Chains A and B, each alone.
Chain A
Amino acid sequence: MTHNAPQPTETDASTDADQAQRDELARVRYQAALGVAIVAGTFCLLVGVTLAVAHLGRTSARLEESEELNTLRAAAITLPEGDARKAMLRIIRQRDLELRQDFFARRAFTKTGGYLLLAGLAAFVAGAGIAAACRRRLPMPLRADQRPAPVGAQAARWAVTALAVTLVAGGVFVIAYYGGAFETAPPDAEGPAVAIQDPPTNDEIRKHWPRFRGPDGSGHSAYANIPTAWNGKTGRNILWKAPVPLFGESSPVVWGKRIFLSGATDQQREVYCFGTADGKLLWKKPVSTPAGRMTDPPEILEDTTYACPTCATDGRFVCAIFANGDMACFDMEGHQRWVRNLGPFKNSYGYASSLSIYRNTLLVLVDQGSMAKPESYLVAIDLVTGRTAWKTERPVPGSWATPILVETGSGEQVITVGCPWVIAYNPADGKERWRTKVLDGDVAPSPVYHSGVAFATNTGSLLAAIPTHLAGEIPDGGLKWTAEDGLPDIVSPLTDGHVVLLVTTDGLLTCYAAADGKLLWEKEIDAVFMSSPGLVGDKVYLMDAKGVMRIFTTAGAYAEVARAELGERSHSSPAFLNGRIYLRSKKHLFCIGNKTD
């Protein structure tokens, strides 16, 4: 039996030829698409690597992080005004320009690279997509026995469970690594306890030396057992002396067993706490605010320094302010409560007004600007929060005096001086009580008060005895008396209720009767005085710039009782505590006391 195979017909041959042609076309199409994909993919890889390398290179040359520029800037600041500084500034500008040009050149480069990468990706996707489509084949129907066994829901349930477990594990990881204690309450147990304490009473305040020139700014000592003899060179009656890290003209303030000082340079600002027992530096805290750092250091006189204002404390807090306007409040352990910046001050010699604390507020006198455009104010800052409690504008230009905070017969007053006004405010709300026009020039001596009379003075104007029970603007006729001789330019006056003592920088001492302004005596001393005098009993303690303390009485005439030498130059005012004097020299903090006690 034979089997005849079907012979191919012409139609079959034609179909085969067509199929072969189609296959050949498909092969060419596939190869072309694959080629395009490979070339485009390689191109993308090259462009991507080039861009990445360029990016890494650029990261190290970002303008704002240029170490070179920062170094140049730092160097320029230290150069004095002159050709060298101008040359340095030219170099900085040129380098800055080059870096900016480089930045934009690189950006243009990456922009072009981005376009190329996108085009390459498009070509790659098109080529690869067509190549993949060429290889795709239609499926054939499957018989039941050819179908893969369906994966049951059980596997999916296990997978879901596994995912849930993974999520929990991820959560545990997050808690372990990003959890942890984070309390936003104040820093420690002592902090809030201190914060909620009531302010000290006036009786308590009088036991300490909480601000410039003592409790009420008069320079009066509450203690009579103050030594009259010491020598910083020989160590006689020097209980201890401690170096002060940064320079400043601020005077020491004392509360209990702690002494507070501030020190600063044009770049650094610090507050120090020393122990009264041995002068050990208990803590040292930097003060820095962004606003303070952003501005150039203020232009100051050498004598003013960057830490001229004296700190203020009330046994709960200690506050400090610096020439650039930075201010800070710490608790007694040195925990910073808040910082603020009130600067930059428009003040030609440098900021010098010291701080005062009234109940729960810190009083800050910011006298700045000119006569034509005064920008002065007295501000009360909440000690606990650092927020402004009240603020009163003042019609005076820049001044360098410290307000006094006194209890008068007609209530508590903050008495301020500034050209031309002496103005008293209510410390509770900043409302003006009275004012009088008696001053002129750049006012630096602070006022003093005794028995219902405030004494304010400045060189080139008057010494005025101002009754503090009046209200509103006090005319010249309303003043108790005025005087014109021996008016000081820096040193604050001193009064014991009987006399008013004035000290000029060049050593002229003038004593007036407090009752009627009668000139009692004058005394010329060959010394320079910057420090304000203090009063212990009937003895005046007056230190010259070389650190020589003259102790004298004022009754009848200048009668020197003793003279003691610190051995170092000093412009600060003394702090009198029980049996001790704390004095700041240019480099040290001294504790003077009778060693035989």
Chain B
Amino acid sequence: MRRSLVILAVLLLMPSSAAVGAERFALPKFKSGYEIPPLVVPPAGSDTLEYLDVAALVLALALASYLALRARSRRAVWVLMAASLVYFGFYRGGCICAIGAIQNVALALADGGYTIPVVAVAFFVIPLAATLLFGRTFCAAVCPLGAVQDIVAIRPTRVPAWLDHALGLLAYVYLGAAVLFAATGAAFLICEYDPFVAIFRLVPFTRQNVWMEAFGGSTAMLILGAAFVVAGLFIARPYCRWLCPYGAILRLLSRASKWHVTITPDECNQCTLCENACPFNAIQKPTTDAPRPDRLIDRRRLALLLVLVPVLLAAGGGFGWWLGDPFSRMHFTVQQAERVRLEETGQVEGTEDISDAFYQTQRPREELYAEAAAIRGRFAVGSALLGVWVGLVVGVKLIHLSVYRTRTDYQPDRATCVSCGRCFAYCPFERKRLKTLAGEPTTP
């Protein structure tokens, strides 16, 4: 154990090697005698800043857990959330983030040739561990994507619970798709379609290496981000609830967390005051004592769904297999092979950048085609697994919705509760605790 820790410490402190500058393709010669200046590669950024990110993550997680579970201060959580937004969002440009780290991990597991940055592993693992201990305090006050949505949630309206249940599944589908595309080396979907990264990088006070020109090459992402912000004024944390793939993992882990925020610091007296406090539908109500006349039907439904699960898995797998071909077209090599093929067979006139890039390598086409075929094969298998995953998610969700559970108190749903602390102020016992019963809610 001690030896492992030493190795880990060495790995963490080991500086990464600088990239060696080299021209990928032969440089053109100019008859004018002009000499192309030699390629100068700027020195790699300091690793210290990356380790600072990890330290900031750990510190923010510890603070968030303390403030949400122990201090029970929504205001303090809000302040920490704003600080995280400034640091991880605007200063670090939304990169690196735990959500995107899923892809690094997936690619590292699938491709032995890919060296995953230690920081990416840390950003992936540390919030998971924190969630196992304290619930989703990472979502509460550390994640910049959650923070920006939480801060703009000015007039959140309650989305019907049934719709919330259904839309919540999209996050699992997105998680599966992100893993598939990352593992096959096709794309980092989460990064490409991160709705907030364009906003984070709108102002150039991020570090130089992540600065992206405002309105340049990112218009679509900026529009997407603006749409989420505007929607977030009225629907609290739409991305976190229905799309965030990391949130999907945290939901599962949070169910088993050792500790978790509670609505009341004391015994719940079922006063109903907190019933509508949560804009995320994350407060579970007590069940009634009324007799359940349709118990037999419930049992039959449950049995039917249990039988249905393998069918869903098989159908999902089969359907996913079909999707492998179109999905593979997201991969650069497949796109390149397709374009080269079209040009080769005269189906299109002229060349494009993507085919020019291939021709410049002077590799034979057969090699490219073989590579593309191998990728398509991987996509077929991966898409089938994605289909199985989606079938499993739908099946489990249906079963989950068909199992009757007894609750006596108002309590947070451990999976969907992001530990934001909004509900604290609605509990009279909390008011009593804070001696603020006469005042207004402390929600910012």
Chain A interfacial positions (CB closer than 8 Å to B): 48, 51-52, 54-55, 107, 110-111, 113-115, 117-118, 125, 128-129, 132-133, 136, 138-142, 147, 150-151, 153, 155-164, 167-168, 171, 174-175, 177-179, 182-188, 288-291, 294-296, 299, 335-341, 344, 382, 384-387
Q: Is B83 an interface residue (CB 8 A)?
A: no
Task: Judge whether B326 and A174 touch: CB under 8 Å.
Answer: yes
- Measured between C-beta atoms, what is the minimum distance from B419 to chain A in Å? 20
A153 touches B357 (CB 8 A): no
CB-CB nearest in chain B for A113: B214
Closest to A188 in B: B345
Residues of B within 8 A of A138 (CB): 273, 426, 440-441
A156 touches B401 (CB 8 A): yes
Please tell me if the beta carbons of B356 and A336 are within 8 angstroms of each other in the complex: no
- Interface residues in B150-165 (C-beta closer than 8 Å to A): 151-152, 154-155, 160-163, 165
Those 9 A-B pairs whose CB atoms lie nearest each other, nearest first: A159-B166, A178-B326, A184-B369, A155-B162, A385-B364, A55-B215, A156-B165, A290-B356, A156-B162
A to B CB contacts below 8 Å, 17 in the list: A107-B216, A110-B214, A111-B204, A113-B214, A125-B152, A133-B443, A139-B273, A140-B273, A151-B160, A158-B162, A167-B390, A177-B326, A184-B341, A290-B359, A299-B31, A335-B344, A336-B344
A110 partner residues in chain B, CB cutoff 8 A: 213-216
With A160-B165, A163-B170 as contacts: A182 and B325 at CB distance below 8 Å? yes
Q: Let me know if B341 and A294 touch, CB within 8 A.
A: no
For the complex formed, measure the closest distance between the CB of A153 and the CB atoms of chain B, giving whole angstroms: 4
User: In the complex the two chains form, is A291's CB within 8 Å of B326's CB?
Assistant: no
Q: Which residue of B lies closest to A342 (CB)?
A: B362
- B173: which A residues are within 8 A, CB to CB? 167
Q: Which residues of A contact B259 (CB under 8 A)?
A: none
Which residues on the B side are within 8 Å of A150 (C-beta)? 285
Q: Are A163 and B166 neighbours in the complex by a CB distance under 8 Å?
A: yes
Tell me if A160 and B166 are in contact (CB < 8 A). Answer: yes
Range, interface on chain B: 35 or more
Taking CB atoms, residues of chain B closer than 8 Å to A290 are: 351, 356-357, 359-360
Within 8 A of A (CB), among B107-129: none
Given A125-B154, A156-B401, does the pair A179, B326 have CB atoms closer than 8 Å? yes
Report if A147-B402 is in contact (Cβ < 8 Å); known contacts: A125-B154, A288-B351: no
B59 on the interface (CB 8 Å rule)?
Answer: no
Nearest CB in chain A to that of B153: its residue: A129
Q: Which of B28, B162, B216 contacts A151 (CB 8 A)?
A: B162
Contact A296 B30 (CB under 8 A): yes
User: With A167-B173, A338-B365, A344-B29 known to touch, is A291 a contact of B360 (CB < 8 Å)?
Assistant: yes
| A-side contacts of B397, CB under 8 Å | 160
Complex contact A160–B360 (CB within 8 A): no
Contacts A125-B152, A184-B369 hold; do A159 and B162 have CB atoms under 8 A apart?
A: yes
Interface string of B166-179 (1 = CB under 8 A from A): 11011001000000
Q: How many angstroms between the C-alpha atoms of A246 and B246 in the bound complex? A: 61
Contacts of B275 in A (CB 8 A): 139, 142, 147
- Chain A residues with Cβ below 8 Å from B337 are 184
Instruction: Determine which of B273, B344, B366, B402 lies in contact with A385 in the assembled complex, contact meaning CB atoms within 8 Å.
Output: B366
Beta-carbon nearest neighbor of B387 in chain A:
A171
User: Is B22 on the interface with A (CB-CB < 8 A)?
Assistant: no
Q: CB-CB < 8 A to B344: which residues of A? A: 187, 335-336
**Bound Cα distance A595, B359 (Å):** 47
Closest beta carbon of chain B to A422's beta carbon, Å: 30
Contact (A136, B162) CB under 8 Å given A147-B272, A184-B369, A336-B344:
no
Q: A114-B202, A184-B368 are in contact. List 4 more A-B contacts (CB 8 A).
A: A138-B426, A147-B272, A171-B319, A384-B364
Question: Is A295's CB under 8 angstroms from B161's CB?
Answer: no
Q: A150-B285, A160-B394 are in contact. Are A174 and B323 (CB under 8 A)?
A: yes
**Per-position contact with A for B277-307: 1 when CB-CB < 8 Å, else 0?**
1000000010000000000000000000000
Q: How far is the CA of A568 from the CA of B114 in the complex (A)?
A: 64
| B362 touching A341, Cβ below 8 Å | yes
Roughly how many angstroms separate A126 CA and B302 CA in the complex, as a whole number?
A: 48
C-alpha spacing A382/B362, complex, angstroms: 13
With a cutoff of 8 Å between Cβ atoms, the chain B residues found around residue A125 in the complex are 151-152, 154
A159 partner residues in chain B, CB cutoff 8 A: 162-163, 165-166
Min distance, Cβ A267 to any Cβ of chain B, angstroms = 14
**Residue B228, interface by CB 8 Å:** no
Whether A139 contacts B426 in the complex (CB less than 8 A), given A129-B444, A163-B170, comes out as: yes
A138 nearest in chain B by CB position? B441
Instruction: Tell yes or no: B398 within 8 A of A by CB.
Output: yes
Structural contact, B167 and A163, CB atoms closer than 8 A: yes
**Which residues of chain B (195-252) have a CB below 8 Å from chain A?**
202-204, 213-216, 219, 226, 233
Nearest Cβ distance between residue B226 and chain A, in whole angstroms?
A: 8
Tell me which residues across on chain B come within 8 A of A54, comparing CB atoms: 215
B271 part of interface (Cβ distance < 8 Å): yes
Q: Report B-chain residues with C-beta under 8 Å of the C-beta of A118.
A: 90, 202-203
Taking the nearest CB of chain B, how far is it from the CB of A292, in angstroms?
9
B222 to chain A, nearest CB (A): 9
Which residues from A are CB-within-8-Å of B163?
Answer: 159
Q: Given A55-B219, A118-B203, A175-B323, is A184 in contact with B370 using a C-beta cutoff of 8 Å?
A: yes
Out of B326, B366, B370, B373, name the residue touching A175 (CB < 8 Å).
Answer: B326
Min Cβ gap B310→A in Å is 15
Q: Which residue of B lies closest to A37 (CB)?
A: B154
Shortest distance between the CB of B107 and any CB in chain A (Å)? 23
CA distance A153 to B161 in the complex (A): 9
- A35 CB to closest chain B CB (Å) equals 15
A191 to chain B, nearest CB (A): 9
In the complex, how many angstroms separate the beta carbon of B329 from the nearest chain A beta carbon? Answer: 6
Q: How far is the CA of A182 from the CA of B337 in the complex (A)?
A: 10
State which of B202, B213, B276, B356 has its C-beta within 8 Å of the C-beta of A139.
B276
Report yes or no: A386 in contact with B214, Cβ–Cβ below 8 A.
Answer: no
Which residues on A sit within 8 Å (CB–CB) of B362?
289, 291, 340-341, 386
Q: Is B322 among interface residues, defined by CB-CB distance under 8 A?
A: yes
Residues on the B chain within 8 Å of A117, using CB: 202
Contact A160 B151 (CB under 8 A): no
CB neighbours (8 Å) of B18 from chain A are none
Shortest Cβ distance from B163 into chain A, in angstroms? 6
Q: Counting CB contacts under 8 A, is B183 at the interface?
A: no
Tell me, rounded to whole Å, the shortest Cβ–Cβ distance linking B57 to chain A. 24
Nearest Cβ on chain A to B232's Cβ, whole angstroms: 10
Q: Chain A residues near B151 (CB, 8 Å)?
A: 125, 129
Interface pair A136/B203, CB less than 8 Å apart: no
